[in-house]
Amino acid sequence: MKLFLTGYMGSGKSLIGKKLSEKLKIPFQDLDFLIEKEAKKTISQIFAESGEIYFRKLEREILKGVLNSEADQIIALGGGTPCYYDNMELINAFTNSSSFYLKLSVENLTRRLLKEKDHRPMISHLNSQKELDEFVRKHLFERSFYYNQSKNVIDCNHKSPEEIVDLILQKLG
């Protein structure tokens, strides 16, 4: 079984993935970490040195490798992964896999990301909560179409990580 967690940055994909891993006794992988390991560079370095097109091609290859692996895994996708190529179609077509969109409101995402802003290259340049809110609102609008292609949508607003994990476990049956 492969479980794919998708959602905007700050939606809790890594935290929920690790908690699911503990409950299900299935290894957790972060796709961005796998990309960095393969490239021997950080995501920021890859973007700066080789550009987004190169990054998206590498991301696609790593994703295919994960899908073709025999191992059961819980995988946190990068926030942009579902939006390129036919990545969501590929994930959803794969047998013995399930995808979960960890959905949060713009307000909750902005609140979370404001605390992490300096550690996230995509938003570190934004100078105010208003700018961050506008950035997230625009980006989420563009990406929601892809995120909503997940087999399962989990409303994470006002829920603890444990409640979110329980909702995912219920969906898995």
- Mean pLDDT across 125-143: 95
Residue ranges at the known binding site for substrate:
32, 56, 79, 143
Give the per-residue pLDDT at 81: 96
Residue 12 belongs to some domain of the structure? yes
pTM: 0.95
Residue 64 belongs to some domain of the structure? yes
For residue 19, the enclosing domain spans 2-168
| CATH code of the domain covering residue 105 | 3.40.50.300
Residue ranges at the known binding site:
10-15, 32, 56, 79, 120, 143
Residue 173 belongs to some domain of the structure? no
Query: How many structural domains compose the chain?
Result: 1
Cα distances (Å, whole numbers) of residue 49 to 42, 46, 61: 10, 5, 19
Residue ranges at the known binding site for ATP:
10-15, 120
Confidence of residue 40 (pLDDT cuts 50, 70, 90): very high
- Using DSSP bridges, classify how beta strands 2-6 and 73-76 pair: parallel, antiparallel or unpaired: parallel
